[in-house]
A and B are shown apart, each in its own frame.
Chain A
């Protein structure tokens, strides 16, 4: 909320506090000051009167003015371009040497198109006044000051009421009371120990509730008060009120409307003023009306169940807290009025205001929630202001549905100084705490009981006092330390988190970039590819755009999107991965997605080769072994996933349990040479069993032999290796791929390398023994698989 320092000064004398000190005190006691600035600024200003205005001889739009600036400065010749410059008007003159900070201009004596100019006639925008405070003609021309201001006046900003500073305070939700001048005045009074100049006393009429004029038929309106004022004769709104309204972004309209708005700024309580002659019966507040209504400014709106509507019996007259309707609004001929001050459900006001797209200063106040006890002060304030807005009036009656008015409803609670010091870890003394309680007018009752003043319903228990004490004094009063920490130790409570870290480091060290993508994706992408669950994903019902609507059940759509983004932006060769928990309809799983794109680079670019299935297979094998899953537990078989390439992708099983799919995507889905994969780390985590167990070893020289087979399409490497291993030759310690060679088409030669070793350090294997083994292997493989050794 924007506050005028001048208006604050009316209720508390803070003239002698430097603005920087004022702002710092607010900031370090829990108020966010967004900014503060002078309404207008400029040096060497004087009021002058134009005594002659002729066209500049060498220009089609400039004027040549003679401006009488009083005895001290005499008559100045000024060249001026403003359209509204004319003889007789009084203007603001910036003399030679004047500095205007908002446009960073120093006025010099100059010659403009051959004519001397000794100053400048100013507009208010040139003095730094915000355009929102000005009319169009003020913005487009020089300021025409009131004729009653005398020529030669040098305190220009003061006489124009522009010697003011605006402080913009962002009020946090617990301090709704500060959304008013009175609230901030009270806070400043507490913080600076300066007394408040008298605030309006509670008006006697409030103790005479006749209840007859109000009937509330909804839970959404806990308090509804009206005061009837008869025989008003509206006068014009005081200038200082207009300025205060403008600073808060409220346009002055008419004296009765301005009265309500000004009282609202002072008290934080929104008012609505009705023309009493259009209210025939009584105020009935309802929330069950469905109807099309016309607002006071002529807009047609639709209200429905749940909107709070104020009716004259059955006839709607106001949409509570948001907008008055045309039929009972005040106008220039209004004679008798009802002043309404009420409290409505902030939730209902927010929801109606959002739905109708109507928000106003008062709807924003209501939407933040009101302290019901403040209505008494608010009504008393607006009554006390009446003499400034109407030349005649008579307060005739008061009616409300609320039975606790004029009572302090704040709870009485127990306070303990020891507890305060224990919780804060501080050493505040009894006197220091009492000073705070006194500063905030907190009533100190016997037996350590406290009660907050009526306007502070945020103070209701011990911790609220702790907060007041902490923010009242400097933070340096607390001796900060680690002493109170409970001694605990970090546990890896989830091996999943641990393995996630290991896998992430492994991949990063192998040249991968980790990515982070959106959880919410569009429906089409969600359906494009799934490695695991094919169940329907969660869907948010209030998505901002359809691009981010589905809670993804798979990481690959995002991986593909990322890869294509980079391809479209001329990045061709990269390795990416993402690890993220995903919330599926049947629980949370953590998945790992991998994407390889383009070529893996060598020292010589001419030798770069495309990433292939075997790269991802290698990385997967590596990362599984690094978290403790040996290769022999892992089985790869052609993938059955319809989104993957049937002949160049694999499903992965560990101990027979499906844990993921890797490889190329189906050409119908993906045209680029991209290799992707996804693993279910949650599933893998349950399969991690092996521990490191040392095995004794011997250092014996091994003997290697290679065998090359000619194989057709239906025979795999795995077939050959399994066949060889199943022979169970004691001295065969390893069988692995040595070479693969495609000759012409369909003719593939596959060479395996076999490693033989004696089990005994002292006995070497003989060549004849190995020859026997080789013979056995060749004949078994040839017979079982029906393939031939390469000649």
Chain B
């Protein structure tokens, strides 16, 4: 075989392959594989050329070798390219087959919701847990002693009237505030501090209109220690209110009165409807009353077996329903207790 002959044969096969590819049409990858084994297989021209290398003239051996390996590379590339083309086509077809209407609704994994009352309790609890408070609970059918006497509301005090709280019998009432839990916690502490608790829970009063329900929720807090100050109470209330209503809200304090505490304060938040400019929600005052608090009255400490020369404390209380109504703009407290699904499903967001 001479050089010219080799070149001719290669050229001939090249033309033949070119015509195969040009008329490939919708031939399959199987057809391509058949052609590939024909061209690159045992009986192929390439194979023959390689075996003829043994008998080739030493002078042109190097040149022929280069031509043959070059041709092999050419063929490999040619087929690899076509294979790739066919593979891509196949993937494209699969993609088209697998098309779905992504606008159809998703499978139904229904989303539930926490009741707004419990959302507020959770929100406030998490604030106090982060400050190291514990959560205390107690019964709702409570002794008159825990509900009144122990929190500085002696017999004859106006809020002990039958028209204000629900009475079970001569000894028991439905608790009218969660202060009764504080009395229980203090009792258990046997005069030894510190105490740092919040008590969330249901309370009951004989009251009934758009903003009052005979049942509502309260969260009260109590800290008793040797060091605690009124200034720390105010700092706590300010941060609590900002935790609930937004970190940039102004908070203001007004002196007030509660039998359980002295001095007492009320904390107001800057109205979040009008940003303090004055609107119907804040009755044009720019502020909304949020909670009451104060330093535990020494008499309460004494009544609960704490040495009021050694210990002092602060306490605060807020209405869960009221906070929820303000925060979510709920118009009537009774909605909390009716549990209309149209109401409940609005509180899906965590």
Q: Check A515 against B110 for contact (C-beta < 8 Å).
A: no
* B303 CB, nearest partner CB in chain A, Å: 14
Interface presence of B230 (CB below 8 A): yes
Size of the B side of the interface (Cβ < 8 Å), in residues, is: 83
Q: Is A426 an interface residue (CB 8 A)?
A: yes
State the CA gap A445–B119 with chains docked (Å).
54
Nearest Cβ on chain B to A512's Cβ, whole angstroms: 4
Tell me, yes or no, whether B246 is within 8 Å of chain A by CB.
no
Contacts of B169 in A (CB 8 A): 541
In contact, A483 and B344 (Cβ under 8 angstroms): no
Question: Are the C-beta atoms of B295 and A485 separated by less than 8 Å?
Answer: no
Residue B31 interfacial (CB < 8 Å)? no
Residue in B115, B118, B257, B265 whose beta carbon sits within 8 Å of that of A173 in the complex: B257
In B150-199, the 8 Å CB interface with A consists of 155-156, 158, 161-163, 166-169, 172, 174, 193-194, 196
B79-135: which have CB < 8 Å to A?
A: 104-115, 117-118, 129, 131-135
The B278-305 residues at the A interface (CB cut-off 8 A) are 295, 297-298
B342 within 8 A of A: yes
A467 is an interface residue with CB less than 8 A from chain B: yes
* 19 pairs, A vs B, C-beta closer than 8 Å: A30-B256, A172-B256, A354-B161, A424-B295, A466-B263, A479-B231, A480-B235, A480-B238, A486-B194, A493-B135, A513-B115, A516-B117, A517-B337, A519-B174, A520-B215, A539-B168, A544-B208, A571-B341, A600-B110
- In Å, the complex CA distance between A538 and B161 comes to 20
Does any Cβ of B come within 8 Å of A447's Cβ? no
Neighbouring B residues of A480 by C-beta, 8 Å? 231-232, 234-235, 238
| Binary per-residue interface labels of chain A (412-444) against chain B in the complex, 1 for a CB within 8 Å, 0 otherwise | 000000000011111000000000000000000
* Stretch of B19-27, B35-43, B53-61, B221-229 lying at the A interface: B221-229
Find out whether the CB atom of B105 lies under 8 angstroms from the CB atom of A463: no
The answer to whether A346 touches B156 (Cβ under 8 A) is yes
When distances are taken between beta carbons in the complex, the residues of chain A under 8 Å from B225 are 484-486
Verify A515–B132 contact, CB threshold 8 A. no
Encode contact with B along A539-573: 1 for CB under 8 Å, 0 otherwise.
11111100010010000000000100110010100
Interface residue from B163, B230, B264 paired with A426 (Cβ < 8 Å): B230
Interface size on A, residues (CB 8 A): 87
Contacts of A539 in B (CB 8 A): 168
Stretch at the interface among B1-9, B10-18, B136-144: B136-144
Contact between chains at A542 and B112 (CB < 8 Å):
no
Q: A30-B254, A519-B202 are known contacts. Are A583 and B139 too (CB-CB below 8 A)?
A: yes
Complex Cα distance A602/B104, Å?
A: 12
Interface residues of B (CB under 8 A from A): 104-115, 117-118, 129, 131-137, 139-141, 155-156, 158, 161-163, 166-169, 172, 174, 193-194, 196, 202, 204, 206, 208, 214-215, 223, 225-232, 234-236, 238, 252-257, 259, 262-265, 295, 297-298, 312, 336-342, 344-345
Question: Which residues of chain B come closer than 8 Å to A507, judged between CB atoms?
Answer: 112
* B112: chain A residues within 8 A (beta carbon): 507-514, 575
Q: Is A335 positioned at the interface, with any CB of B under 8 Å from its CB?
A: no
> 1/0 per residue A651-693: CB within 8 Å of B?
0000000000000000000000000000000000000000000
Which residues of chain B are within 8 angstroms of A479 by Cβ–Cβ distance?
231
B132 pairs with A478, CB closer than 8 A: no
CB distance from A37 to the nearest CB of B (A): 13
- Whether a CB of chain B sits under 8 angstroms from the CB of A491 is yes
Contact A516 B298 (CB under 8 A): no
Q: Are A542 and B337 CB-contacts (below 8 A) given A426-B231, A511-B112?
A: no
Within the assembled complex, what's the spacing in Å between the Cα atoms of A694 and B261?
Answer: 53
* Chain B residues with CB below 8 A from A9, complex form: none
Q: With A and B bound together, what is the CA distance between A621 and B337 in angstroms?
A: 29
The answer to whether the Cβ of A174 comes within 8 Å of any Cβ in the partner chain is yes
Quick one: CB contact mask for A131-160 with B, threshold 8 Å, 1 for yes?
Answer: 000000000000000000000000000000
Interface contact B134-A493, CB-CB below 8 Å: yes
| Residues in chain B near residue A493, CB distance under 8 A | 134-136
B231:A540 contact, CB within 8 angstroms: no
Q: Which of A493-537 contact B (CB under 8 A)?
A: 493-494, 497, 504, 507-520
Chain B nearest Cβ from A470, distance in angstroms: 5
| CB-CB under 8 A for A475 and B168, given A463-B297, A464-B262, A470-B230 | no
Residue of A nearest to B257 (CB): A172
Return chain B residues, CB-CB under 8 Å to A172. 256-257
Which residues from chain B contact A462 at a C-beta distance below 8 Å? 298
Q: Are B340 and A565 in contact, CB atoms less than 8 angstroms apart? A: yes
Note all chain A residues with C-beta closer than 8 A to B262: 463-464, 466-467
Q: Tell me the bound Cα distance from A548 to B135 in angstroms.
A: 29
A 457-492 contacts with B by CB, 8 A: 461-464, 466-467, 470-471, 475, 478-491
Q: Say yes or no: is A588 at the interface (Cβ < 8 Å to chain B).
A: yes
A467 B255 Cβ-Cβ under 8 A: yes
Which residues of A lie under 8 Å from residue B135 when comparing CB positions? 493-494, 497
Nearest CB on B from A260, distance (A): 25
Asked if A486 and B228 sit within 8 Å, CB to CB, the answer is yes
Partner of A514, one of B113, B140, B223: B113
Q: Contacts A490-B133, A515-B115, A544-B208 hold; do A484 and B336 have CB atoms under 8 A apart?
A: no
B229/A422 in contact, CB under 8 A: yes
Q: How far is the CA of A565 from the CA of B129 in the complex (A)?
A: 37
- Digitize A347-389: 1 where CB-to-B-CB distance is under 8 Å, 0 elsewhere: 1001100100000000000011000000000000000000000
Q: Is A11 an interface residue (CB 8 A)?
A: no
Name, among A29, A422, A463, A493, the residue most crowded by chain B CB atoms within 10 Å (CB to CB): A463
Cα-based distance from A490 to B133 in the complex (angstroms): 5
- Inter-chain CA distance A346–B159, complex, in Å, is 12
Question: Is A242's CB within 8 Å of the partner chain B?
Answer: no
Closest to B235 in A: A480
User: Does residue A336 face the partner (Cβ distance < 8 Å to B)?
Assistant: no
Chain A residues near B298 (CB, 8 Å)? Answer: 461-463
A517 touches B339 (CB 8 A): yes
* Interfacial chain B residues near A489, Cβ < 8 Å: 132
Q: Which residues of A contact B339 (CB under 8 A)?
A: 513, 515-517, 562, 565-566, 576
Known A30-B256, A480-B232, A603-B106; 16 more pairs at CB < 8 Å? A175-B257, A423-B229, A425-B232, A470-B230, A480-B231, A484-B225, A485-B132, A490-B133, A511-B110, A516-B337, A543-B166, A544-B214, A551-B174, A569-B340, A581-B140, A603-B107
Assembled-state Cα–Cα distance A17/B135 (Å): 49
Residues of A within 8 A of B231 (CB): 424-426, 478-481, 483-484
Asked if A631 is at the interface (CB within 8 A of a chain B CB), the reply is: no
The residue from B161, B208, B227, B341 contacting A484, defined by CB atoms under 8 A apart:
B227
Q: Is the CB of A520 within 8 A of B204?
A: yes
Does A345 reach chain B (CB closer than 8 Å)?
A: yes
Docked Cα-Cα span, A500 to B48, in Å, equals 83
